[in-house]
Amino acid sequence: MTMTAPQPQTKYRKDYQPPQFLIDSIDLDFQLDDTQTRVSAVSRVRRNGEHQQPLVLDGQGLELAEVLLNGQSFTEYQLKPDQLELSSLPDEFELTITTIIDPLNNSALEGLYKSGEAFCTQCEAEGFRRITYFLDRPDILSRYRVRITADKTLYPALLSNGNRIDSGELADGKHWVQWEDPFPKPSYLFALVAGDFDLLEDSFSTRSGRKVALEIYVDKGNRDRAFHAMESLKKSMRWDEERFDLEYDLDIYMIVAVDFFNMGAMENKGLNVFNSKFVLANAKTATDNDYHGIERVIAHEYFHNWTGNRVTCRDWFQLSLKEGLTVFRDQEFSSDVGSRAYNRILNVRLMRSRQFAEDASPMAHPIRPDAVIEMSNFYTVTVYEKGSEVIRMMHTLLGEENFQAGMRLYFERFDGQAVTCDDFVQAMQDASGIDLGQFSRWYSQSGTPVLTVRDSYDEASGVYRLHIAQHTPATQDQSDKQPLHIPFNLELYNSRGEPQPFRINGQSVSHILNVTETEQEFEFEGLSEQPIPSLLREFSAPVKLDYPYSNQQLALLMRHATDLFSRWDAAQMLVAKQLKSNLERYRQEQALELPDEVISAFASVLEDESLDPMLKAEILRLSDESSMAELFDEVDVDGIHRVRCFIKQRLAEVLLPRFTQLMGTLNRDEAYQINHQAIGERSLKAVCLSYIACADKELGQELVERLYKGADNMTDTMMALSVANGEQLECRNVLMADFEKAWSHDPLVMDQWFALQALSPAPEVIDSITSLFEHPVFSLKNPNRVRALIGVFSASNPLHFHRIDGAGYKLLAQVIRELNTLNPQVAARLITPLIQFKRYDSQRAALMRSELEKLQQLESLAKDLYEKVSKALS
Ligand code: 7ML
Ligand code: ZN
């Protein structure tokens, strides 16, 4: 007889039922041990309503040692796969459950596991059930008390949520600490950490005058790398008071950095656990981008304290309630403390490259999904980034004042509760009086709307008409689409690039049009010439735009648009136009062309001395091949590579003297500094260097070597290496070897090196990657290593990942097979580029499909992979 694993079950949003029981408090006792940790959980449980249903607790991979009811041995239970079902229960009782778990061999990094020498936990979304049997769902809010016992020399720090209320020593070299969290919370916010760390301490005075202790725990020897995280934390706390009127609520806030972590970080109440990548930084080891990322992630996790922890999600389908909102808040923070235009560019680039791709993939889903097999598959760019765009649209429609009134009402109504996305929208609507009925479709409809805009100008009357049609193409999860409420931000320019005041029906109007119908027309009066429209300014909605801009119009917007984001966006559209027309030529075997007006548009950006260097860098930098691929329904891998190289080469050759001249003016104050100007100049230097090396290998090599040898910071070092790698300079291998020798003791730094290896345009890249599996610093067990080498290769080196013999697909599939048992969450994240096979030519699609079919045949395919593979092949 053959045993087949049960088919994973789909859960539906519409099936939500309130819990049958409530758990008011839980006392947890941990006796920490590498392979035999004993967890005793004493819960106060109450029947919820009148019924005689059993209590069904979630549990996974647990060894059950004991069950007590009100302190007495209890046997009225059944152990089922992943469940413990208890019956014949009174209406109120105390339940004691003791389980044994094995943190050392927990390579999935969910629940309690060992990261190096330390114990730590990750419970979102459904990891708490790997610690004890529990109602592991976010609408169960309980008071937690946690007692941790462990060896005192190996684990001097014993941490959990809330306040430390007691501690003591035991005879056998062990000690214990007792914690209590006064705020009821869902199980996904539980955390425990035990280890021997260096500690960076500081404090923050809240505006009401309370003093909060701030503690950052890092691996021994890394204390000097925690200061930037600490500064970021204090900035975040201040900003949330000033902009959102929100103050921290405990007397202590702890952050622990660990090396083994599936995600970026986790907002556990009072005890955030972070991937060390998002904590550790100094000038020698971290790039400017790393600094920016740390500030952002520290802020994100801090902001969850109100949007996520004080008000949480009723069920996991509502994930965007906390994530979309918290991403919106961290984006606003980054924009307020840094450059708004720069941050908008980063966010929009991510939307267009990854979220639009997700909408076009078999994993398409609304920001509030309707059906889920494995929850960890829904921590997606759709839920997070598009979720944030949906919040941002409400902010645009309501304005800051109404939006903040909506936030106040939201907290008044729901503090201490587990609620839904509808509850949030209702608060916004009630506080502002603005009807969000149609708008709320953004929560239930997946897919990327396309706005087709056409215009006409009547010289005699001075009237300009915009015709806007919206259409959302069907997605794999949903065929019927309805019109959405789209805030459409626009500006009109005259031929000298001056913004024109505009009026509709004699009224001067807001720059935000309400697009609500399938087709709509807008009339603007009083225009003395045909205007040039700047459309979808600020990316005011997560949509694609179709408007037949000419090169000249885009060049004008690149130079004159009043907002810097629109200048960047015009440059994106200008390049996209050249890409499309040249792909046509490439297919017809005609010579490629780049019109002079395109080159001069770039030249005038280069020469604009009033333009912020950071923005200048973003406008001049060509987007990468995988982002360019998102402009097409069917992706021509080789064509895009060829044409992108051509465009870069032409710009580089013609503008070489100007790039060289500009580069000489940057970062003249030799010493490394971290401020907006210096960071912008380094970024611009990187862009110049890359163009220079493209046009003139010898000069490029000379500059790269000089930069590498003189570098006193990781940003310059990586800049030099990345140009040597990207332009395949002769010095590439020598520099890579030098870097490896210098940094092999530091895995986080080596991740940058692995990523460069993965991005190599050299034909032997697949063989190099295969041999790097044996590198002493590489390990499949560490998600950061895996993402740096395999993740970067398959998502960002399309030329070689999509090699026509399928070697790239084979490499990825092999790694996924190994991770299927080691760490299914990471495996499922990696598979994204493979499930998009329908967008490639038949030869590539067949090869990708056959790798997916082999994966489908695996005997013990994890739920995480099953969900994606079966959707891709259906
Ligand atoms: C988003 C996170 C997760 C997953 C962090 C895990 C989190 C869930 C967690 C923006 C900035 C930093 C991290 C993340 C992210 C994917 C992305 N609750 O806080 O959302
Ligand atoms: Zn989050």
pLDDT tens per residue across span 431-440: 999 999 999 9
> Quick one: pLDDT at residue 552?
98
Q: Whose C-alpha lies nearest to ligand 1, atom 19?
A: 266
DSSP result, 259-293: S--SSSEE--TTEEEEEGGGT---TTT--HHHHHH
Residue 596: CB atoms within 10 A of its CB come to 10
> Quick one: pLDDT at residue 314?
99
DSSP 3-state of 336 = helix
Tens-place pLDDT, residues 466-483: 999 999 999 999 999 999
> Quick one: pLDDT at residue 141?
99
Where helices occur in 433-560 by DSSP H, the ranges are: 441-444, 551-560
> Which residue in the list 126, 267, 295, 301 is annotated as catalytic?
301
Among 522-531, 662-671, 684-693, whose mean pLDDT is lowest? Answer: 662-671
Tens-place pLDDT, residues 316-346: 999 999 999 999 999 999 999 999 999 999 9
Q: Whose C-alpha lies nearest to ligand 1, atom 18?
A: 266
pLDDT at 363 over 70: yes
**d(C-alpha 457, C-alpha 664), whole Å:** 46
- How far does the centroid of ligand 2 lie from the alpha carbon of residue 323, in Å? 5
403 lines ligand 1 (CB under 6 A): no
> Rounded mean pLDDT of 166-190?
98
Q: Is 247 a catalytic residue?
A: no
**d(C-alpha 680, C-alpha 415), whole Å:** 41
Burial class of residue 566 in the structure, from the number of CB atoms within 10 Å of its CB (0-12 exposed, 13-18 middle, 19+ buried): buried
Q: Whose C-alpha lies nearest to ligand 1, atom 5?
A: 265
Helix (H) or strand (E) holding 601: helix 596-607
Q: For a pocket test of ligand 1, which of 122, 123, 272, 300 has the largest count of ligand atoms closer than 8 A to its C-beta? A: 300
- Segments making up each domain of the chain, as ranges: 23-196, 202-305, 325-331+342-444, 450-548, 744-874
pLDDT above 70 as % of the chain: 99
Tens-place pLDDT, residues 218-227: 999 999 999 9
**d(C-alpha 195, C-alpha 219), whole Å:** 9
Residues 6+ apart with CB under 8 A from 615: 339, 341, 342, 345, 564, 567, 568, 680
Q: Which atom of ligand 1 is nearest to 308's Cα?
A: 18
> Quick one: pLDDT at residue 5?
61
Residue 5: CB atoms within 10 A of its CB come to 10
Q: Which ligand is nearest the CA of 326, by number?
A: 2
- How far does the centroid of ligand 2 lie from the alpha carbon of residue 703, in Å? 41
323 lines ligand 1 (CB under 6 A): yes
Q: Which ligand is nearest the CA of 109, by number?
A: 1
> Quick one: pLDDT at residue 510?
82
pLDDT at 1 over 50: no
293 lines ligand 1 (CB under 6 A): no
pLDDT at 89 over 50: yes
The CATH superfamily holding the domain 450-548 is Aminopeptidase N, middle-beta domain (2.60.40.1840)
Question: pLDDT class for 7, splitting at 50, 70, 90?
Answer: confident
266 lines ligand 1 (CB under 6 A): yes
> Quick one: pLDDT at residue 147?
99
One-letter amino acid of 313: C
pLDDT at 760 over 70: yes
Q: Which atom of ligand 1 is nearest to 267's Cα?
A: 19
**d(C-alpha 396, C-alpha 332), whole Å:** 13
Residue 396: CB atoms within 10 A of its CB come to 17
Q: Which atom of ligand 1 is nearest to 296's Cα?
A: 11
DSSP result, 38-75: EEEEEEEEEE-SS--PPEEEE-SSPEEEEEEETTEE--
**d(C-alpha 163, C-alpha 143), whole Å:** 12
Tens-place pLDDT, residues 683-705: 999 999 999 999 999 999 999 99
What is the rounded average pLDDT for all residues in the chain? 97
Question: pLDDT class for 6, splitting at 50, 70, 90?
Answer: confident
**d(C-alpha 347, C-alpha 355), whole Å:** 11
> Rounded mean pLDDT of 523-549?
97
Among 486-495, 503-512, 592-601, 672-681, whose mean pLDDT is lowest? Answer: 503-512
Q: Which atom of ligand 1 is nearest to 265's Cα?
A: 5
**d(C-alpha 443, C-alpha 389), whole Å:** 11
- How far does the centroid of ligand 1 lie from the alpha carbon of residue 267, in Å? 8
> Rounded mean pLDDT of 460-468?
97
CA 688 to chain centre: 28
Fold matches, 23-196 and 450-548: yes
Domain 202-305: give its CATH code. 3.30.2010.30
Q: For a pocket test of ligand 1, which of 384, 385, 829 has the largest count of ligand atoms closer than 8 A to its C-beta? A: 384
CA-to-CA separations, 153 to 8, 159, 221, 513, 773, in angstroms, rounded: 44, 15, 17, 64, 35
> Quick one: pLDDT at residue 507?
80
Tell me the Ramachandran region of residue 239: left when phi exceeds 0, alpha when psi lies from -120 to 50, beta otherwise: alpha
> Quick one: pLDDT at residue 508?
75
Q: Whose C-alpha lies nearest to ligand 1, atom 7?
A: 266
Domain 23-196: give its CATH code. 2.60.40.1730
DSSP 3-state of 782 = coil
Answer CATH for 744-874 from 3.30.1330.40, 1.10.132.20, 1.10.3730.10, 1.25.50.10: 1.25.50.10
Tens-place pLDDT, residues 190-219: 999 999 999 999 999 999 999 999 999 999
- How far does the centroid of ligand 1 lie from the alpha carbon of residue 263, in Å? 7
pLDDT at 777 over 80: yes
379 lines ligand 1 (CB under 6 A): yes
Which residues, chain by chain, have CB under 5 Å from ion ligand 2? 323, 326
Pairing of strands 118-122, 211-219: unpaired
- How far does the centroid of ligand 2 lie from the alpha carbon of residue 300, in Å? 6
Q: Six-digit token pair at 741?
A: 């020798």
- Please confirm whether the linkage preceding 125 is cis (ω < 30° from 0): yes
267 lines ligand 1 (CB under 6 A): yes
For 107, how many CA atoms within 13 A lie in the half-sphere containing its CB?
15
Contact call for residues 121 and 112 (beta carbons, < 8 A): yes
- How far does the centroid of ligand 1 lie from the alpha carbon of residue 449, in Å? 26
- How far does the centroid of ligand 1 lie from the alpha carbon of residue 384, in Å? 8
**d(C-alpha 151, C-alpha 173), whole Å:** 6
848 lines ligand 1 (CB under 6 A): no
Question: pLDDT class for 4, splitting at 50, 70, 90?
Answer: low
pLDDT at 2 over 50: no
**d(C-alpha 544, C-alpha 647), whole Å:** 23
Q: For a pocket test of ligand 1, which of 233, 292, 355, 379 has the largest count of ligand atoms closer than 8 A to its C-beta? A: 379
**d(C-alpha 537, C-alpha 567), whole Å:** 10
Among 303-317, 492-506, 627-641, 832-846, whose mean pLDDT is lowest? Answer: 492-506
**d(C-alpha 121, C-alpha 828), whole Å:** 20
264 lines ligand 1 (CB under 6 A): yes
Answer CATH for 325-331+342-444 from 1.20.140.10, 1.20.1420.20, 3.40.50.1460, 1.10.390.10: 1.10.390.10
pTM above 0.95, yes or no: yes
203 strand-pairing partners: 213
> Rounded mean pLDDT of 493-515?
89
- How far does the centroid of ligand 2 lie from the alpha carbon of residue 420, in Å? 16
Question: pLDDT class for 513, splitting at 50, 70, 90?
Answer: very high
